[in-house]
Amino acid sequence: LMEQSGRMFKPLAYTKTTAMAASSVLAITIIPVLMIFFVREHPIDPALPKKAKAKIWVPALAGPPLAVVCAGLAGVPLPDISLVPALGLSVFFGICLFPQKIIAEKNNPLNRFLIWVYLPAIKWVLHWRKTTILVAVAAIAITWYPMTRVGSEFMPPLNEGDLLYMPTTLPGISITKAKELLQQTDKIIQRFPEVKTTLGKVGRAETSTDPAPLSMIETVIMLRPQVEYEIIEIPRFFSGWPGWLKQPLTWIWPEQKNGKVLHEWRKKQIDRFYAGWPGWLAAPFEWILPEARYITMQELIDDLDAAVKFPGVTNAWTMPIKTRIDMLSTGIKTPVGIKVMGPDLSTLADLGEQIESLLRDKKGTLSVFSERVTGGNYLDFTINRKEIARYGLTVQDVQDIIKTAIGGMNVTYTVEGLERYPVNLRYNREFRDNLHMLRRVFVPTPSGAQVPLTQLADIAVKKGPAGIKSENSKRSAWVFVDIKGMDLGTYVKQARQLVEENIDLPSGYSLVWSGQYEYMEKAKKTLRLIIPATLLVIFILLYIHFGNLTEVVIVMASLPFSLIGGFWLIYVLGYNMSVAVGVGFIALAGLATETGIVMLVYLDEVYKRKKKENRMRTASDLYGSVVEGAVDRVRPKIMTVATTLIGLLPVMYGSGTGSQIMKRIAAPMVGGLVSSAVMTLIIIPVIYILWKTREINNNNNM
């Protein structure tokens, strides 16, 4: 992956790969040693007297925390959490000294329960083999439904905790009016209880890296937490103790508690079936299905957008960091941008306005704004050469007066220490904006007379380009489109078709769909190469391990079944296909084949053992072999899936900044592991027995 997606997911890939490599090394080096060290029935010699045993147990359990306490009392500076690792070390020593024993599989209660559940199922599917295969194929076919209804986007929406309000006005707005508009929108936004403060900016900063025009306003909206409580201090008997000593006690008796609610977001009522019930009867249901919830970020944006509607102003709502990244990469501040390219600015402006009017009423459009590339106001001075010649003036003389009055001229420098600053002199803004006053500006002549500027030049306000953008040696006009209630890929597909059907582009003009859509298309092209390459690598590794093409195909058959759970889960959760989801599916490919390998290894182990013992002659022998191989080690097979699922569930229930992306990565893995586990336990034994049945029949015929 490259660019944004690469910067986002490369650290994850490096971390995962390094962790798996390290765990593989530890599994074959440290784990056997630890098993010998820990798994012992008699860590302490039973022949030792009780006093000798006590001399071992007491220092092991009390030694680490006692050492921390002594160090603290001696004045050694310790972090507040010092006692926690000391207590953990005591627990570790206790485990080492406590007798351990591995329970045999046949005596393991969990394994016996799993066999009791699994044995009837495996016998049934092995009896109804063709029916099982048909059901599996039908399940894959039905998965086409969610696959065709899942939308697409570049990255899932990332909740940064704050909002960025970026309204755009028509070009030519004055500084006074822009400042007034900014103040009005800030006051309206600050009325909402969810808003903590607002920081607004009009135009550009004094830097060449900020190309924002005066018509673009940026307001950072800092939001409050959903609930903000008053903190009440609670005096405890250990409040005066050192931090390292009282830290464990604060977990049991906190020194602070939440008081009254200071601020909280508005709540939205939800109609529940128990709404009219008495309070004592509805209370248990209220804990599970509350009648009110806090408004979502999107609902807050909708309310803010409705409150700051102004004529001639197009609103855009996004996140601060995300917008900076988008504007630095593509220049587009909205999810979708259309770059109209061609030679003539007037034609570009006309095409942009046509696209704006066409997309304004389209479903899924929150706001659309076409840059007015020809809407700027310019003071135009046309010097009358005959008149200036009558007064003995040159064109440069008149232009110097105009330049000094309007643009300003550096007349001197001020020196402050080692720094020098130019002193610029020009007329006040009120004078410069008044055509009548500008016409009365006097121009000195060589004879000493003062001639009004209106006698030497014609002054008028004319329209011109507010700014000229160029890309790939072509002039361009941009159309900004903000969307709502529709995924990015579907919206662009429909909008592109709508534009192509209703707008005829003149020769030499073209449209480029940009914004997040541009990066989404680049990521799709990359994933189209990465996913087949990943599958090819998995195929080669499996072939190196098994040395048999049929067994490799059986294991690879788990991949389509993993897609069943992956696609259905992201469909149910309402997620769109994105780079994050694609990364999740790539990781799922490795996990699904891992579960298939575990099953196939056990099936092969039993089959080869019985064949070596000359007990694999008939279909009945094969049936017993497959049942034994599938059932005998059902606990390790389920643990292979369960450990991964348990590790991913906290991600699925996480909240806060960044959880939206991590959930998209974990969702395909969780759903896919469930469906691939079913395939591993049910389908692989069926495919295996069909394959080996043919092999046995061929051997018997020979």
Q: What is the pLDDT of residues 226-252, one digit of tens each?
A: 888 888 888 888 888 888 788 788 888
- Report the C-alpha gap between 589 and 129 in whole angstroms: 26
Give the DSSP letter string of 313-370.
Answer: EE--EE-HHHHHHHHHHTS--SSEEEEEEES-HHHHHHHHHHHHHHHHTSTTEEEEEE
CA–CA gap between residue 218 and residue 182 (Å, rounded): 9
pLDDT at residue 210, as a whole number: 67
Residue type, 520: M
Average pLDDT over residues 549-568: 87
Mean pLDDT for the chain? 84
Q: Round to whole Å and give the CA distance between 312 and 689.
A: 72
Q: What DSSP assignment string belongs to 73-112?
A: HTT----TTTHHHHHHHHHHHHHHHS---PPPGGG-HHHH
At 170, which amino acid appears?
Answer: L
Give Cα 227 to chain centroid, integer Å. Answer: 24
Instruction: State residue 208's pLDDT score.
Output: 65
Phi, psi (deg, nearest 5) at residue 354: -65, -45
Average pLDDT of the segment spanning 642-659: 80
DSSP three-state, residue 653? coil
Q: What is the pLDDT of residue 48?
A: 81
Q: What is the pLDDT of residue 189?
A: 92
- What does the H/E/C string look like for 663-701? HHHHHHHHHHHHHHHHHHHHHHHHHHHHHHHHHHHHHHH
Question: Parallel, antiparallel, or unpaired for β 256-264 and 227-233?
Answer: antiparallel
Decide: helix, strand or coil at residue 165: strand
CATH topology of domain 159-226+265-319: Alpha-Beta Plaits (3.30.70)
376-464 in CATH: which number?
A: 3.30.2090.10
Contact at 8 Å (CB) between 461 and 406?
no
Overall residue count recorded for the chain in this entry:
702
**Residue 392, both tokens:** 């003995």
CA distance 15 to 22: 10
Give me the mean pLDDT over the 174-202 stretch: 89
Q: How far apart are alpha carbons 652 and 334 in whole angstroms?
A: 28
| AA identity, residue 579 | V
Check pLDDT > 80 for residue 430.
no
Angle made by CA atoms 528, 533, 537, in degrees to the nearest 5 = 160
pLDDT at 700 over 70: no
pLDDT above 80 (res 353):
yes
Q: Which tokens is 96 given? A: 């080492």
The 3-state secondary structure of 177-197, one letter per residue: HHHHHHHHHHHHHCCCCCEEE
* CA-only gyration radius of the chain, Å: 37
* Dist CA 678 CA 639 (whole Å): 13
Q: What is the pLDDT of residue 318?
A: 85
Amino acid at 615: R
pLDDT at site 699:
67
Exposed / middle / buried, residue 488 (Cβ in 10 Å: 0-12, 13-18, 19+): buried
Q: For strands 195-202 and 217-223, give the pairing.
A: antiparallel
Measured CA distances, 71 to 79, 524, 663 (Å): 12, 59, 44
The values of phi and psi at residue 401, to 5°, are -65, -45
Residue 507: how many other CB atoms lie within 10 Å:
5
% of the chain at pLDDT higher than 70? 98
pLDDT at position 591 is: 84
Q: Is the pLDDT of residue 552 over 80?
A: yes
Query: 572: alpha, beta or left, given left = phi > 0 and alpha = psi -120 to 50?
Result: alpha
For residue 140, the one-letter residue type is I
What 3-state DSSP class applies to 448? Answer: coil
pLDDT of 188 over the 90 cut: yes
Query: Span 518-546, mean pLDDT?
Result: 86
Q: Which amino acid is at 125?
A: V
Number of neighbours of residue 57 by Cβ within 10 angstroms: 16
Q: Which pLDDT score is estimated for 222?
A: 92
Element (H, E) at 217: strand 217-223
Q: What would the DSSP string read from start to end of 138-155?
A: HHHHHTHHHHHH--B-SS
In which band, very low, low, confident or very high, does the pLDDT at 474 lie, cut at 50, 70 and 90? confident
What's the gap between Cα 449 and its chain centre? 71
| pLDDT value, residue 184 | 92
The answer to whether the beta carbons of residues 406 and 379 sit under 8 Å apart is yes
pLDDT per residue as tens digits for the range 100-123: 777 777 777 888 888 888 888 888
Coil, helix or strand at residue 2: coil
Q: Which fold has domain 110-142+521-701?
A: Multidrug efflux transporter AcrB transmembrane fold (1.20.1640)
Q: How far apart are CA 215 and CA 201, in angstroms?
A: 11
- Which amino acid would we find at residue 519? Y
| Among 118, 114, 121, residue whose Cα is nearest residue 635 | 114
Domain-by-domain residue ranges, the chain?
3-97, 110-142+521-701, 159-226+265-319, 376-464
CA distance 451 to 546: 99
Per the structure block, which two tokens stand in for 100?
A: 């351990």
HSE value, Cβ hemisphere, 13 Å, CA-based, for 326: 21
Distance CA 1, CA 534 (A): 13
Q: Return the pLDDT at 616.
A: 73
* pLDDT tens digits along 599-613: 888 888 888 888 887
pLDDT of residue 478: 86
State the Cα–Cα distance between residues 313 and 215, nearest whole angstrom. 9
- The model's pTM is 0.75
Closest CA to 20 of 594, 499, 460: 594
Tokens representing 156 are 């899932």
Average pLDDT of the residues in 300-306: 90
Q: Which residues are 382's β-sheet partners?
A: 458
pLDDT of residue 185: 92
Buried-exposed string 256-281: b where 16+ CB fall within 10 A, e elsewhere: eeeeeeeeebeeeeeebeeeeeeeee
* pLDDT value, residue 568: 92
Asked whether residue 265 carries a pLDDT value surpassing 60, the answer given is yes
CA–CA dist 600, 602 (Å, integer):
5
Q: What is the pLDDT of residue 209?
A: 67
Cα gap 143→145, rounded to integer Å:
5
- Nearest 5 degrees, angle CA 454-CA 455-CA 456? 90
CB 377 within 8 A of CB 172: yes
| φ, ψ (nearest 5 deg) of residue 240 | -85, 0
162-165: strand order across its sheet: 195-202, 217-223, 162-165, 317-318
Residue 220: predicted pLDDT? 92
Q: What mean pLDDT do residues 664-680 have?
A: 87
For 308-323, write each residue's pLDDT tens digit. 988 888 888 888 888 8
Helix (H) or strand (E) holding 576: none
Q: Residue 279's pLDDT is what?
A: 76
- Comparing C-alpha atoms, which of 330, 342, 331, 417 is closest to residue 373? 342
Please state the φ and ψ torsions of residue 78, each to the nearest 5 degrees: -125, 145
- Residue 261, strand partner residues: 229
**Pairing verdict, β 317-318 and 162-165:** antiparallel
